Structure 1
Amino acid sequence: MQTTLSEAAKRLARAEEAESILRTCVHCGFCNATCPTYQLLGDELDGPRGRIYLIKQVLEGHPATARTQLHLDRCLSCRNCETTCPSGVDYHNLLDIGRAVVDQAVPRPPLQRALRSGLRQLAARPATFSHLVQLGRSVDAVLPAALKAKLPRSAPGASPRPPVRHARRVLLLEGCVQPGLSPNTNAAAARVLDHLGISVVPAPEAGCCGAVDYHLDAQQAGLERARRLIDAWWPAIESGAEAIVQTASGCGAFIKDYGKLLHHDRGYALKARRVSELARDLVQVIDAEPVERLVCHSDQLLAFHCPCTLQHALKLGGAVESVLKRLGFTLSAVADGHLCCGSAGTYSLTQPALARQLRDNRLDALERGHPDLIVSANIGCQAHLDGAGRTPVRHWIEVVDEALAKSPSLT
């Protein structure tokens, strides 16, 4: 695509990157065929090709408007289009660049600013978020239906983690909302890894990965959180931790980008690249181990929802299903597994109407095989799907952990 950046755009820190991405796009439109918002709305500007054109216009000097901002906001950042694109357009990075420019030019209405600021503040305070979830569950009978749907239907407390006792050691991202919404997920991951001879090294200073800030109009704050996380992990990395494990694929996708996002930072470029190299989704670690000796016996029929970040960003589509089958679980077939559930980080809160429609479509496909339980690999998808009050939804590692706990050979 021929592009002529304006003089103002040429001064942007990521100007060359933006121009390179724009020139990669051949405007073929294949991306629209798999774009969830284009499928729902049928508007060219609510598909990747249209959004690329809008960003191109702004970077060439055309004024950004509230409508421009709305079309960019409606993007789920699911990256389905990147999987489909025959030209390899790095769409999500172009979108980040475009959104930053548009948000600088178009002030948001007060309610939008308040919502986004509040979400960023909660992500920075996991303990506060957990207390609010507990408070909400105690008064859920009087809460509005929309707010009640955001609370977990059941949230068992985190079971004890095994001690650090193995030579093989990994770090584990604790996350910001997962400890409040699904507190047993990381504990379950630590126990399963312990069965495989891998210990989780605690890093209590490690907080939010920065993705929430970065994708809600505060990119510099998001990068600062990334730096803090690197600092918290670095002593364990220097001591030989073999991987940084994430149980939330959304966080994992962002951490995988640390090396790219901080490559201009003299103090953190090399460390960020190392962290990105060590980052592993939980399924990658478990898939590389002899899990057959941990065979689980379960009569539950599972349906797996593959998060967009797992299949399109991390390129691990099919990996969890493979591990679950190796462990002895039975899975139902799921149609249109490439499509987004509508969670997309904070999207279910900033674009609730579209998110609900996408969620219900996804649940219809997941429930077609009449599963007893739906499992996923990302806390956002898990909470969003479970909020519909239909088939229960949990993280897949919790189901594995429970099945292992019932195994005579491991009790």
Structure 2
Amino acid sequence: MSDSLLSLRRRMLLGGLAAGVAGHALARPAVAQGSGPIRIGEINSYTAQPAFLGPYRNGWILAQEQINAAGGINGRPLETLHRDDAGKPEDAIRIAGELVNAEKVAFIAGGYLSNVGLALGDYALQNKILYAAGEPLTDALVWSKGNRYTFRLRPSTYMQAAMLVEEAAKLPAKRWATVAPNYEYGQSAVRWFRELLQKAKPDVEFVGEQFPALGRIDAGATVQALERMRPDAIFNVTFGVDLTNFVRQGNTRGLFENRTVASMLSGEPEYLEPLGEECPEGWIVTGYPRDSLENPVHTAFREAYRKRFNEAPKCGSVVGYDLVLAIAAMLKKAGSTQTEAMVDAFEGIRYPTAYGTGEVEFRKIDHQATLGCFVGRTKLNGRIGGMVDWRYADGANYLPADDVVRGWRPQG
């Protein structure tokens, strides 16, 4: 890439990468149904999961501001009505109904916990309303319970398990234990890690598992139970406060000494940084190496985010920002806010991720985006942990074959 083109791309980000997406299809017809704002109903577990969703909302706001500053979607600004589901599926469904019926939003978006995402996906199917999911990682959202109206941005449990298995299979460890929150996300992550690792390395043995309640882990008892299993390695799926408590007790009791840990999400700054000096070293993790990810697109995003919010972005920031970019690209392609037109437009849509790793596609076959994540190892730098020896794992390379997906996903 020439210096002049790099300079242009950098200016696009600082002035608004999202504005570039908004103008990506200027030759297409204008979005129909008036000149007022395009209203989006965004539902998330803000009070239940603030570490991820505070930065997520900031990323959403930044992208929306940039798009609107550049003229919106053919002159129509984006307007988002953010609502809190408190981590309860029943609240999410009630709020979705209020947003669609009373607030007249064009579609709904968001979701964090897998059970909430599945509830919103079912609402979308039953009411024939578009649902653009950002975070829920359950595979069921796009496979066994997938439907025409639901799309998902982030790499799923299957995809992230496959990324970690690629590294875990290189280890001499044969005896594995697992620990994960006891709901769909944790159960699915363990299932796929076990299945994929045994396929890649048939001589491995899974000697036990722990499934603490989400947000209520008894870390001391969990660590003791894992220690009694005498594993060579551990697969961890806990996150947030549960992860902090698990790491603290594990460090205190020596659980991680001479043991490899493969850990989903633990390289994300919102979960890694709160560990402080207790950050374990050498864990194999999926995450976001924010401070060492240097390319013109990501650097410009990071600087724009810091300037707007006076703090560094987190993984949630990228998810919120990217989801708005994808929505903008979809609206441009649709040329309408009619549900069926937007659904058709989402299938195969491409947008440029803030990671700066290229374009991401929403696959037509299952409505899963090909956004990837970074795989590396944890390292304590001074008083805070970070990711080292990382690589970007393109999501397109960690999805099952199309014929397998067709067998998992309802047809029609």
Task: Tell me the TM-score normalised to structure 2 length.
Answer: 0.34
Higher relative CO (Cα under 8 Å, sequence separation at least 6) belongs to 2
Bigger fraction of residues in helix: 1
Higher strand share: 2
- TM-score, L = length of structure 1: 0.34
